[in-house]
Amino acid sequence: MNILIAGGGLAGTMAAKALRELDPGAAVTVLDEERHRYYPRPNLIEFLAGRLPFEKVFAFPEGWAAKQGIDLRLGQTVARLRPAERTAETGSGEILSYDALLLATGARAALPPVPGTGLPGVFVLRTLDDALALAEHLRERRRTVVLGGGLLGLEIARAVRGRGGEVIVVEFFDRLLPRQLDPAAAGILKAQFERLGVAVVLGAATQEILGGADGAVRGLKLASGAEIAADGVVVAAGVRPETAVAREAGLAVGKGIVVDDRMRTSAPGV
């Protein structure tokens, strides 16, 4: 059995591990576009807060995949699928054949449709490289706006605050964790964050991320016309499923890749 896995995040890595345990003879290949081996993404918060050193971010020691007989190819993408031929083309043009293909391409950080998200000093937190870039930025910058008062935004705010910087959370809805909490509970949470020294601005639609004369972020303009000064903005506005390869190959795709109750896509073997 020749199994190809696109994506070496939690799903792809744990599937490879389970497949190896179930079938010691299977050929298991994992391609991941990141340059780092698998790490649980929640560790990025601990790393950012300075509570977890870089080498402890990873789930398994260096060389673990090879020891398991898993052919892990970092920095490589599955660029195209030809399900009828059971082949996949990598980003570098190599054709790989498979008996079964697992699409474990996960999600990307979503960016809101406001001007300025491409400015230097605007960050998301999805990958280890995102965390490294943000940590580097925070060495010298002191005033950060976190766009989004959901779970991830609040975790980021707490981590950045823990490093000593000023933090302002800007949330579109009228309360924090709008998907999880009712107004009373959200009020208690807001008070707790304020006690930690995190400022919270609610009911605030962002109109634009503002750039300064040097081209880098200088703050945020709200729909109300108010401006919030900041030398960094972290966008925590949810994720969008990574479905490009599946869609291009003609697989059924809705909000995500459509599967049946046995996780089979509309293409045989995928």
DSSP string computed for 134-148? HHHHHTT--EEEEE-
- Which residue of 3, 4, 12, 88 would you call a contact of ligand FAD, by CB under 6 A? 12
Query: Amino acid letter at 177?
Result: L
Residue whose CB is less far from ligand FAD, 10 or 111: 10
**Residue 44 C-beta: closest distance to ligand FAD, Å:** 4
Q: Mark residues 120-159: x for contact with ligand FAD by CB under 6 A, - for none.
A: -----xx-------------------------x-------
Rounded-to-integer distance, Cα 152 and Cα 234, Å? 11
Q: CA end-to-end span of the chain, whole Å?
A: 14
Rounded-to-integer distance, Cα 178 and Cα 169, Å? 14
Residue whose CB is less far from ligand FAD, 101 or 228: 101
Beta bridge partners of 145: 168, 233
- Which residue of 4, 57, 70, 78 would you call a contact of ligand FAD, by CB under 6 A? 78
Q: Which of residues 212-231 bind ligand FAD (CB under 6 A)?
A: none
DSSP state of 230: -
- Which residue of 3, 4, 28, 31 would you call a contact of ligand FAD, by CB under 6 A? 31
**Residue 30 C-beta: closest distance to ligand FAD, Å:** 9
Q: Does 19 bind ligand FAD (CB under 6 A)?
A: no
Alpha helices by DSSP H, the chain:
10-22, 42-48, 64-67, 128-138, 151-162, 183-195, 244-248
Applying CB under 6 A, the residues found at the interface with ligand FAD are 6-12, 31-34, 41-42, 44-45, 77-78, 104-107, 125-126, 152, 242, 245
